[in-house]
Structure 1
């Protein structure tokens, strides 16, 4: 990895607001790709069509559709994969054009085929990007043949037009929009810097003498939320091979950014406690404001200026007239300013030379990205669907669920829409396709439906006004102005799509109004657009009903699954903390486990997002639960940083800290049992001189237990004290068999790096752990046969049968040679 350049760490710049609104510029790149694709596709379609003697409308339609789909469906992050996808697009597209042209005289078969093509799209998506491209181009090719009749004699020439458009779009994209994943990561890092400065700026404003802090604190909270999303995005980008070829360096970058975020969050909480407090004297308040202003304006390559400012804050807090609580909060703020400066300095130092000390373990991704942002309800919904699988025919449920829903809905939508509008029946089918793509719950489908309806109404008003203005331009100039408006509106809509789906709908409808104006009088535009809106609504309604009736996945079920995933992530963190303290040399990633908790909370919040936002002061029980979960996640992240210390513990203290963390993990996993309080034991141990190095971590562990106990009590779980003498059986020994293994090969005598995956006899993954120096540990395995798969960048995957023997609590040792 290379050193972050000055544009990442440099002082504030005027264009930083763009990165603040769009970290990594993913939205802007989407709009730019669509603009280039549309312009090049239309130009190539028109020029090649004229050279081959194809009517201009056909050439524009074939090239334009290819340009539109290239902007949406081809977003690979390497030039090689971009070229592969772009050159593949004409293949299914030309085949579907030929099939549609041959079936044009047989309307019944044509209707059946387009419904089957839409169904196949949701089946082929399981095959990866090329599968999705195949399904989408088959559907769009058939759609083109239904909109514009295509003579079979022109099929060969149209295939050449499609190929020319694909080659032209590829050349333009490689020249003007070449994939640059490393640059995307640097821009996202710059967004982190921008949001960090926004946090400290708002914090300084809240402490200004005579200021009303409420507004500044709300601004600080919003900036902290954006910091969290940005760090999640960076962690997700680090998982891509193109981002970090060195996994140890990636792990260190992850750690330093994690520490900076934790310090920033703690700084915000300290400022919240000081803002508006009457016991803060003027000199102390001024010292805090000056320190925060320095943090905001400093070049991050010279963050050493923060340390003297923090010293001034400490001096004023210790020698001034502030009350004890205000002084303690100010001292905490100074400590966090030092921690923030150190974390940022280490982040910048990373990559200037080879790290002297590699990460304890290589980087392991814990954040999943969807369209460049942290995943929302998708992973939880998929996990819930996978649980519906099983033996026999149930194995096909996760694969066939959505295609079956879409196929049944299409069988209803097509005849109804055909009866309503005849040759414009595809409007209903498009509504079905839209409601089925990218939505996992009924709430998401209804929210997308609302965006579609509102966007269509606004776009219709703007589109009709634009068409009336363009109608005053005569001759060929009218055509060129119309094409310019169409391309501009679609590009702007693509830019805003990931922000709000309604923005894309507005741009699309404005563009379509210009096309409809060719064949529809202005007096009939209102009725035509109302019909389009109604058929879209028909597709949405039938698609939502099919999803609710055929192998349904309820919003409540997805929400509960997301919460379960959050609890499991917390339990794994508690177990990692216990392992870290019991075996200081164990290959654990506490910050990575805490980031997994953070990502799980983000998913739970996305699923729990209400369909209608309630006014302030009317928070529901679900909102209160999410608030407690967010507070618990903050404690978990601070616990991860505080617990990751090298310390020699006495056997008594080591056993006790392992017992306490293990009991917390048990309470998190056993949701039907009483919640066993470990906070008293943790605080008692924090006061023990033998555990002085762990005092901060034990306090955070106690605070985490307090918050989780409140959450458990709000859900009706009884609370029970956990006596310090109560025996606690480790979860791995009580519930399964422990397998310790070692992997060696001739090329790596000190041990191989990679992953070990356990697959049961039904093909389901039961465990996956990282190998460190060729060693791995699998816990909680059940007796019986399974398949052990060893994989890594240095070796092809190797599968071996493993017979797990013994009873609960037993250990088994395994040696493998590659």
Structure 2
């Protein structure tokens, strides 16, 4: 379809190849490892694995050395020190050296205190069980008070578990404390040496991830324009590319600083703006290419489009200006067709879409060039960069049901003793589930009853609905089985007598598990069980290994299911309520966009952030999608065609909100009468959104309010503005009014689906 000879010359002169552009490793051509950056913007997952590797190697080496120096059993030294490395890697994610030091050096104190307490019990079963149940409930209670309190609770629980597993006598607790303290200090030193936070480098890597996703969209568009392409396959590929682009963009935006807290507020805001505009242009190109797949595109126009999209895909972004001639060529081809009165209707429609692609390519060149240049020149020091979270991320991922669940609990209207429910709800779940599980798992194996408690703990951490807990149960079971098979195979391969090989497998399993955990919880379980098999082999013969691993699977599964049942029955949090709160949060975010449009038009000097408000709508949509998508389809409930239709409507509304945020960001100079009419449009839409919010908040079957359409007002305003002279501001105002009209249409359908009269 295209040949090298059809591509315009994009070479740059020394004057245009300015040195202040983004580094070549950000804006350069494709590389074989780009897929890693696209899958993990900022390399947060890879850094988690690297932290685990550094911490585990350091802690195990120090633990073994300290056991030799203090004349204690090597197993005790390895277990005590290994817990320091494991918890420092997973529970300590501070990004300043003083916070990192405070958290890591604190861990040995609560850990060793419960080691001593466990040793004084001298194997008494009932007190040990009571302590374990108490420590587990206390861990969830302390989680409300910040990272240090959470670390304290986790170290108390882990110390009791290690104390019972290793059977450390009271006479060795002092030496165990020395091992823990020295290993924690060593882990701190290696973390500072090999894992020091570098936000500027993270920013450059996130830029590269966006570049990769942009090229994927362009490549999908090239594929869609091929005359011989399978239309259904091309559309699926484009939708997948646009979905990945949006997830990556919102995740990257979550890593950028809000202007209020950035070292350079102006630079931070510009980063937001350029990133938003670049994504909007790419989405428009992708959607136009999808529409063109159903039309007969004239061959000259098809070739011009292909040339422009190939350039967008392959041109290094330091030479992004080379897209402008291609964009102009596309527009010329489209105008030729539009000027021909004999052009068929299909060709005219294709030319209109192609002209839009040309405009978007021109906008993309400007946005990407400005964004990459700003990202390179925004700061000079490795830590002095506007790079803090704006969209709230959890473990470098978009948050799921946690936000809506927290809002439901925080908005409780209970009186009397029930006011404490938000504070004790999860600790009570943990305590009751542990009290049920302990006797059962103790009857199965008195020496390993805590495996059931581990199942309780992992179920209640990071989950908010029954569907999420059942999904975690499935991941835990599958991961345990796969990890057991791999662990036994590696055990047979390396044998039991090679200490260093065994330690290498343990470290590798934990490292790979930490790297994959943010993708799928089962990946972490596989790595953990592979490591544990090597540890169990030190005290368990081959004949008993299968029974031991089956027992672990049973105990873990029992703990997960009992904890899930307790969470569903004791102070339950209805999934329907969480879904409604997520949708309410979306409506509130959208209302903020409309209110900022009104403020932008009425007060040009007001510090509004339309693109930032639209990005919050993206994040709110992600939360709605995560809570509406269950593990199992139920015959009745919030999941079904109606719920899927509502999510589709919200997805459409989000697209209109993005376009509105860009189009409405202009100074509007209207006559007082027209300005008042524009204010009535935005005020009317805001009022309807507030009615919808109130309907969700009240939960009434018969709502008092209704959705009042503003489309008639918009059409009247458009009719009065039609005779006005055309210009860039007039065109953008017309676009903003069209987006407001489309938003009103979409949200009216959504309100009707939700039960609010229209």
TM-score, with length taken from structure 2? 0.89
**Given the alignment of the two structures, is residue 645 of structure 1 paired with residue 666 of structure 2, yes or no?**
yes
564-573 vs 574-583, which moves further: 574-583
Q: 2:565 aligns with which of 545, 555, 567?
A: 545
**2: CA distance between counterparts of 1:532 and 1:364?**
41
Q: Counterpart of 1:301? A: 318
Q: Which has the higher helix share?
A: 2
Residue 345 of structure 1, CA deviation: 2.0
Q: 1:170 to 1:535 in 2, by over 3 A?
A: same
Q: CA deviation at 1:520?
A: 2.5
Which deviations, in whole Å up to 9, do the C-alpha atoms of 1:734-770 show, x marking residues without a partner? xxxxxxxxxxxxxxxxxxxxxxxxxxxxxxxxxxxxx
Residue deviations 1:361-387, cap 9 Å, x none? Answer: x99975111001121111110000112
Which residue matches 2:49? Answer: 31
Aligned 8 A contact 1:576 1:590 in 2: yes
Q: Bigger CA drift: 86-95 or 249-258?
A: 86-95
Tell me how far apart the structure 2 counterparts of residues 367 and 438 of structure 1 sit (CA, whole Å): 19
TM-aligned CA distance change 1:335 to 1:642, over 3 Å: same
More strand by share: 1
Choose 558-567 or 704-713, whichever is displaced more. 704-713
Assess, with a 3 A threshold, how the Cα gap between structure 1 residues 389 and 539 changes in structure 2: closer, same or farther: farther
- Contact 1:45/1:161 (8 A) holds in 2: yes
Instruction: Give the counterpart of 1:623 among 641, 644, 654.
Output: 644
Measure, in 1, the Cα distance between the counterparts of 2:374 and 2:413. 45
- Corresponding residue for 1:317? 334
In structure 2, relative to structure 1, the CA distance for the partners of 1:330 and 1:240 (3 Å cut) is closer
CA separation of 1:94 and 1:363: change in aligned 2, threshold 3 A: closer
Map of 1:439 onto structure 2: 463
Aligned runs of 1:660-679 on 2, under 5 Å?
Answer: 660-671=681-692, 672=703, 673-679=705-711
Q: Provide the secondary structure at the position in 2 that maps to 1:610.
A: coil
Is the contact between residue 562 and residue 603 of structure 1 (CA under 8 Å) also seen in structure 2?
yes
SS state at 1:27 partner = helix
Cα deviation code 1:448-488 (max 9, x no counterpart): 001001111112222222222233x6x4xx22222211111
Deviations 1:694-746 (A, max 9, x none): 11100011111111122223334332xxxxxxxxxxxxxxxxxxxxxxxxxxx
- Partner of 1:795 in structure 2? none
Pairing 1:703–2:742 present: yes
Aligned to 1:596: 616
Change (3 A) 1:240 1:703: closer
Q: Distance in 1 between matches of 2:446 and 2:151?
A: 28
SS in 2 for 1:48: helix
Please list, as runs of the form range in 1=range in 2, the aligned pairs for 1:561-572 lying within 5 A after superposition.
561-572=581-592
2:708 counterpart SS class: strand
Q: Which residue of 2 aligns with 1:397?
A: 421
- 1:116 maps onto 2:103 in alignment: no
- Report deviation, 1:653: 1.3
Q: Is the 8 A contact 1:366 1:595 kept in 2?
A: no
Matched residue, 2:628:
608
State yes or no: 1:203 paired with 2:221: yes
> 1:184: Cα distance to partner?
1.7
The 8 Å contact of residues 686 and 694 in structure 1, kept in 2 or not, is answered as no
Query: For the residues of structure 2 that align with 1:466 and 1:269, how far apart are their CA atoms?
Result: 49
* Distance in 1, Cα, partners of 2:185 & 2:555: 36
Which region of structure 1 is more displaced relative to structure 2, 94-103 or 58-67? 94-103
Distance of aligned partners of 1:169 and 1:116 in 2 relative to their CA distance in 1, 3 Å threshold? same
CA distance in 1, matches of 2:261, 2:80: 36
| TM-aligned CA distance change 1:533 to 1:354, over 3 Å | closer
Q: Is the 8 A contact 1:574 1:665 kept in 2?
A: yes
Do 1:573 and 1:593's aligned partners in 2 also have CA atoms closer than 8 Å?
yes
Matched, 1:514 2:534: yes
In structure 2, the CA distance between the partners of 1:352 and 1:505, relative to structure 1 (3 Å rule), is: closer
Please give the secondary structure, in 2, of the residue aligned with 1:518. Answer: coil
Query: Does the 8 Å contact 1:389/1:398 carry over to 2?
Result: no
Alpha-carbon distance in structure 2 between the residues aligned to 1:445 and 1:608: 15
> Is the alpha carbon distance of 1:108 and 1:693 closer, same or farther for their aligned partners in structure 2, counting shifts above 3 Å?
closer
Distance 2:111 2:424 in 1: 24
The range that moved more, 331-340 or 426-435, is 331-340
1:78 deviates by 2.3
1:215 aligns with 2:227: no
Q: CA 1:700 to 1:369, structure 2 compared with 1: closer, same or farther past 3 Å?
A: same
Give the match for residue 465 of structure 1. Answer: 489
Q: 1:414 to 1:701 in 2, by over 3 A?
A: same
In the TM superposition, what is the alpha-carbon distance from 1:274 to its structure 2 partner? 0.6
Q: Distance between the aligned counterparts of 1:166 and 1:242, measured in 2? A: 36
Query: What is the match of residue 751 of structure 1?
Result: none
How far 1:354 sits from its partner (Å)? 7.8
Q: Which runs of 5+ in 2 are unaligned?
A: 1-19, 338-342, 380-385, 693-702, 725-729
> What is the CA distance between 1:693 and its match in structure 2?
5.1
How far off its partner does 1:352 sit? Answer: 6.8
CA contact (8 A) 2:53 2:508 kept: yes
Task: Give 1:518 shift.
Answer: 2.7
Counterpart position of 1:682: 714
- CA shift, 1:390, in A, is 5.0
| Residue 109 of structure 2: aligned partner | 91
More divergent stretch after superposition (122-131 vs 522-531): 522-531
Structure 1 Cα separation of the partners of residues 41 and 505 of structure 2: 28
1:303 Cα deviation from its structure 2 partner:
1.0
1:8 maps to 26
CA contact under 8 A between 1:208 and 1:286: conserved in structure 2? Answer: no
- Please say if 1:288 is aligned against 2:305: yes
Q: Residues 389, 66 of structure 1: CA spacing in aligned structure 2 closer, same or farther, 3 A cutoff?
A: farther
Q: Residues 576-587 of structure 1: matches in 2 within 5 Å?
A: 576-587=596-607
* Aligned partner of 2:448 among 424, 427, 430: 424
Give distance in 1, aligned partners of 2:34 and 2:281.
Answer: 22
Query: Distance between the aligned counterparts of 2:535 and 2:373, measured in 1?
Result: 56
Distance 1:562 1:468 in 2: 50
Partner of residue 95, structure 2:
77
Structure-2 residue corresponding to 1:804: none
Name the counterpart of 2:523. 503
Q: Secondary structure at the match of 1:75?
A: coil
Match of 1:412 among 431, 436, 446: 436
Q: Bigger shift: 93-102 or 497-506?
A: 93-102
Measured in 1, the distance between the counterparts of 2:586 and 2:387 equals 21
* Partner in structure 2 of residue 725 of structure 1: none
Distance 1:31 1:572 in 2: 39
- Conserved in 1, the CA contact under 8 Å of 2:459 and 2:472? yes
Q: Is the 8 A contact 2:274 2:367 kept in 1?
A: yes
3-state secondary structure, aligned to 1:64? helix
Instruction: Give the Å deviation of 1:4.
Output: 4.1
- Once the two structures are superposed, the pairs formed by residues 649-660 of structure 1 within 5 Å of their partners are 649-660=670-681
Instruction: State the distance in 2 between where 1:640 and 1:83 align.
Output: 43
CA 693–520 in structure 1, closer or farther in 2 if over 3 Å, else same: closer
CA distance in 2, matches of 1:498, 1:11: 28
Q: How many residue pairs were aligned?
A: 704
Paired with 1:241 and 1:535, the residues of 2 have a C-alpha distance of 49
Indicate conservation of the 8 Å contact 1:77/1:181, yes or no.
no
SS in 1 for 2:445: helix
CA distance in 1, matches of 2:105, 2:588: 43
Query: Structure 2 CA distance, aligned partners of 1:442 and 1:351?
Result: 42
Once residues 613 and 175 of structure 1 are traced to their aligned partners in structure 2, the CA distance between those partners, rounded to angstroms, is 49
1:522 offset after TM fit, Å?
Answer: 2.1
In structure 2, C-alpha distance between the alignment counterparts of 1:71 and 1:240, rounded to whole Å:
28
1:641–1:46 CA distance, 2 compared to 1 (3 A): same
| Aligned partners of 1:388 and 1:394 also within 8 Å | no
In structure 1, how many angstroms separate the alpha carbons of the residues matched to 2:736 and 2:352?
A: 18
Shift of 1:105: 4.0
Select which of 239, 250, 256 maps to 2:257: 239
- Output the CA distance in 2 between the equivalents of 1:219 and 1:232: 20
8 A contact 1:40–1:67 mirrored in 2: yes
- Match of 2:369? 345
